[in-house]
Amino acid sequence: MTITNQADHDPRSNEGTAAAAAVSPEAATNLLVIEDDDNICSAISEYFSRAGYKVTTAQDGAAGVQSALNNHPDVVVLDLMLPKMDGLAVCKELRQKTPQMPILMLTAKDDIVDKILGLEMGADDYITKPFSLRELEARIKSVLRRARTAVTEDESGEAPIVRGKLRIDPARREVTIGDRQVELTPKEFDLLRLFASNPGRVFPRKYLLQKIWDYSYEGYDRTIDSHINRLRAKVEDNPDNPQMVLTVWGIGYKFSDEQ
């Protein structure tokens, strides 16, 4: 016997459209766009204003940082290529000064190196040009949702983490899927807990090495793959088609925030 939740008209499920945001009951979301290209800038600005966001823009990195610190936007959309101070530097500085502020980075198409650097610098997510505005909006919502529920990853609270059928009990170091208990090794457990505490957030391999394997570990980062492999074998119903621990091609892994 399974209880499902279909055909449930939850207003939240309309996410991703401009109209939905416009009727949102909550106070307008403040959006700061740091982008030097006028076309992109005004397109974003127009779309999101109409969608009920309050949009501020900045044309270069220095101005962006200023604006972010003065206006405390709810989310920053940050281009990587900027005059005066490039996106990575901006990201780094904002992370230092306002660690909580969610940052969504715009990167040139296929610029994997930059994506990785961006994520390592502390961006919360990235989106590659070209992108649709609806896509951007979806990402922004996702980042905002995560920020609201942010569990600082090392807080390691004793409260159980539940994601669908998956349940992690940090105090007992127990993991169950549905009613089945799963035995994990320490590394597997640490990885899964980190992932599941921050669904949707992308963890680059380098970052994982630092976080789970202590600092400046100059190792083979394929090692992570091995652990992910074994973790999936234990945790996924069908390891060939993972539903929880997902690969982000060229970057690393993340926990699904679907469902």
The sign of the dihedral angle between the CA atoms of 74, 80, 82, 87 is positive
Residues 6 or more apart in contact with residue 186 via CB below 8 angstroms: none
Which SS3 state, helix, strand or coil, does residue 74 take?
coil
- DSSP 8-class letter at 13: G
- The CA distances from residue 55 to 28, 43, 68, 117, in Å, are 10, 11, 12, 26
Contact 121, 91 (CB under 8 A): yes
Q: From DNA, its own copies, none, which one binds at residue 259 (CB under 5 to 8 Å depending on kind)?
A: its own copies
Query: Is 251 an interacting residue with respect to DNA (CB under 7 A)?
Result: yes
As measured in angstroms, the least distance from the Cβ of 247 to DNA is 4
Q: Residue 26 or 240: which CB sits closer to DNA?
A: 240
Query: Is 74 an interacting residue with respect to its own copies (CB under 8 A)?
Result: no
Residues 6 or more apart in contact with residue 193 via CB below 8 angstroms: 156, 161, 168, 170
Tokens of 103: 């940052």
Q: Residue 20 or 138: which CB sits closer to DNA?
A: 138
Tokens of 47: 């779309």
Query: Is 20 an interacting residue with respect to its own copies (CB under 8 A)?
Result: no
Q: Residue 72 or 173: which CB sits closer to its own copies?
A: 173
How many residues touch DNA under the rule CB under 7 A: the total is: 28
**Tokens 């990167």 correspond to what residue?**
107
Quick one: which of 42, 49, 71, 149 contacts its own copies (CB under 8 A)? 149
d(CA 34, CA 81): 10
Q: What is the CA radius of gyration of the chain?
A: 19
Quick one: which of 156, 173, 226, 229 contacts its own copies (CB under 8 A)? 173
Query: Is 168 an interacting residue with respect to DNA (CB under 7 A)?
Result: no
Note the residues at the interface with DNA (CB under 7 A).
110, 112, 183, 185-188, 205, 213, 219-220, 222-223, 225-230, 232, 239-240, 247-252
Binding residues vs its own copies (CB under 8 A)? 1-8, 10, 12, 15-16, 39-40, 43, 47, 108-110, 112-113, 115-116, 119, 125-135, 137-139, 145, 148-149, 151, 159-160, 162-165, 167, 171-174, 176, 178-180, 185-186, 199-202, 248-251, 254, 257, 259
